[in-house]
Chains A and B, each alone.
Chain A
């Protein structure tokens, strides 16, 4: 499949992604309101172009036309200024996985067939996915708790695209989507939270049950179908019709302060009632990360989660919280391979991951100065 492609295109594409390995994505910045618990705030809008069949019904030729139609208009519109466009269909699997780990594209887009792409802004706040489940998925993410800011930004992007793209819209049903579960506003509002103390105090299931009762969904770190790894959870709306976008943003936003309060109380409880035990768990996690010779991505995530909580509770003094956030993504399989510039199987990745972690922590653990070679 890769035969016959202009090699300069490959080099160019590789460079774009290599540049990303040097930067820190928006959701990893570790700043913004309540960033000790709220990792990021995200909104996505599902949109379709009126004159094409939905993606699952589209032929290969249709998909190519949809991709070209949207790419041309998005990149030339004012909203596309500074947007980096990546042809996802032409990427190697490791590069697609790299974009998934960075949360710039969905697993579904990575695994799809045919013409598809993504436009990403320089700060990695906005990503525009073409030919995912819908023709266009607009996503905007900010670090910390900032749903109002995210909504304001994405509404502006949506307005800008609407000037040049004829969205499929029905007066009764709203924005028309491939799956009726997204019809109407096409909006998914989500907040990613780090809730280790609620997990350790075994209160997390109770919290999730009450969220389900008010029609909110709980997902893992990588969205639909993904397992919660390292005590990171995404809370999002389940319905998209019958309420305005602002009401749906509010529905998710209203519950976040309550969850933050629960997590803070659980952290206080742990420190007050079981300090020695918590300190021990955090220190052991830190010890393993600094000395392990081979380690899986899952274990790394779990241990980094514990260390992150330990830093925030003042139990570990010499680690920077933003550095922990960076390690969360840089120790994932595709990132590790991109950073090392090597294709590695699972066994070698586990060895390389342990080496990368040791190098990072030997360097003092501060900032984002982990070795990149």
Chain B
């Protein structure tokens, strides 16, 4: 991740809690030192956050906005944005679709780009490499979760429906071998 003030690597990740507002800062060593010195000296100039209003990971957002965002969770794997922010790891491929808006500024900050230009799957005679293949296969993650919950509630008919839906998707995208 780059420093919000220059091109150096951000090594300090600061969360400020002031008058009910949460602000996150990602700074290199030099800019962090300057910032902390200013803070200790009782304020002074605040660093400009490169991303402006829509800065990375909640910069400039109020505590309320961030709290709402943190509650948002992926319908497939169930991970909340709060859990992702804490762990730094996403839960499943669908998170890139579900949290696209939230991840975009973060990814832009890390890579300085927001679009892949490299290799693409090019499987001949198979659809699984196509984007819709990923989307449909990823839905299996949600179906498995739902199936487990149904079993736990002894809703066996629902569980069977989920199981059949999983099998149909596996058959379609993975062929007879399935999992």
Q: How many A-B residue pairs have CB under 8 A?
A: 149
Decide: B134 and A239 in contact? CB cutoff 8 A.
no
* Distance, CA A245 to CA B97, complexed state (A): 23
Interface size on B, residues (CB 8 A): 48
* A179 at interface by CB-CB < 8 Å: yes
Decide: B79 and A51 in contact? CB cutoff 8 A.
no
Decide: A50 and B133 in contact? CB cutoff 8 A.
yes
Decide: B91 and A57 in contact? CB cutoff 8 A.
yes
Decide: A241 and B91 in contact? CB cutoff 8 A.
no
* B101 at interface by CB-CB < 8 Å: no
Decide: A171 and B131 in contact? CB cutoff 8 A.
yes
Nearest Cβ on chain A to B95's Cβ, whole angstroms? 8
* A56 at interface by CB-CB < 8 Å: yes
Q: Which residues between 120 and 171 of chain B lie within 8 Å of chain A, taking CB atoms?
A: 120-123, 126, 128-129, 131, 133-134, 137-138, 140-141, 169-170
A53, A163, A167, A241: the one within 8 Å of B111 (CB): A241
Nearest Cβ on chain A to B93's Cβ, whole angstroms? 4
* A322 at interface by CB-CB < 8 Å: no
Q: Which residues between 168 and 194 of chain A lie within 8 Å of chain B, taking CB atoms?
A: 168-176, 178-181, 183-185, 187
Decide: A170 and B131 in contact? CB cutoff 8 A.
yes
Decide: B89 and A50 in contact? CB cutoff 8 A.
no
* A123 at interface by CB-CB < 8 Å: no
Nearest Cβ on chain A to B21's Cβ, whole angstroms? 25
* A242 at interface by CB-CB < 8 Å: yes
* B47 at interface by CB-CB < 8 Å: no
Taking each of A133, A170, A171, A212, which has the highest tally of chain B beta carbons within 10 Å of its own beta carbon?
A170
* A48 at interface by CB-CB < 8 Å: yes
Q: Which residues of B contact A171 (CB under 8 A)?
A: 116, 131
Decide: A51 and B107 in contact? CB cutoff 8 A.
no
Q: Which residues of B contact A217 (CB under 8 A)?
A: 9
B89, B92, B123: the one within 8 Å of A133 (CB): B89
Decide: B117 and A244 in contact? CB cutoff 8 A.
yes
Taking each of B77, B138, B169, which has the highest tally of chain A beta carbons within 10 Å of its own beta carbon?
B138
Q: Which residues of A contact B89 (CB under 8 A)?
A: 54, 56-57, 133, 178-179
* A213 at interface by CB-CB < 8 Å: yes
* A283 at interface by CB-CB < 8 Å: no
Q: Which residues of A contact B131 (CB under 8 A)?
A: 169-171
Decide: A172 and B116 in contact? CB cutoff 8 A.
yes
* B88 at interface by CB-CB < 8 Å: yes
* Distance, CA A166 to CA B133, complexed state (A): 8
Decide: B90 and A51 in contact? CB cutoff 8 A.
no
* B36 at interface by CB-CB < 8 Å: no
Decide: B140 and A213 in contact? CB cutoff 8 A.
no
Decide: B97 and A170 in contact? CB cutoff 8 A.
yes
Nearest Cβ on chain A to B138's Cβ, whole angstroms? 5
Q: Which residues of A contact B113 (CB under 8 A)?
A: 184, 239, 241-243
* A261 at interface by CB-CB < 8 Å: no
Nearest Cβ on chain B to A151's Cβ, whole angstroms? 11
* Distance, CA A65 to CA B128, complexed state (A): 19
Closest to B174 in A: A166
Nearest Cβ on chain A to B177's Cβ, whole angstroms? 8
Q: Which residues of A contact B116 (CB under 8 A)?
A: 170-175, 183-185, 241-242
Residues A53 and B141 in contact in the complex (CB < 8 Å), given A171-B131, A239-B113, A245-B118: yes
* Distance, CA A59 to CA B141, complexed state (A): 12
Q: A162-B129, A184-B116 are in contact. List 10 more A-B contacts (CB 8 A).
A: A68-B179, A162-B121, A166-B173, A170-B96, A174-B116, A178-B89, A178-B90, A179-B88, A183-B107, A243-B113
Q: Across the A-B interface, give the 3 residue pairs with the lowest CB-CB distance, nearest first.
A: A242-B113, A174-B116, A166-B128
Give 22 A-B contacts (CB < 8 Å), ordered by A residue. A48-B93, A50-B133, A51-B137, A52-B92, A54-B77, A54-B93, A56-B89, A57-B89, A57-B92, A133-B89, A158-B119, A166-B137, A176-B93, A180-B90, A180-B106, A183-B116, A213-B8, A239-B112, A241-B114, A241-B115, A242-B115, A243-B113
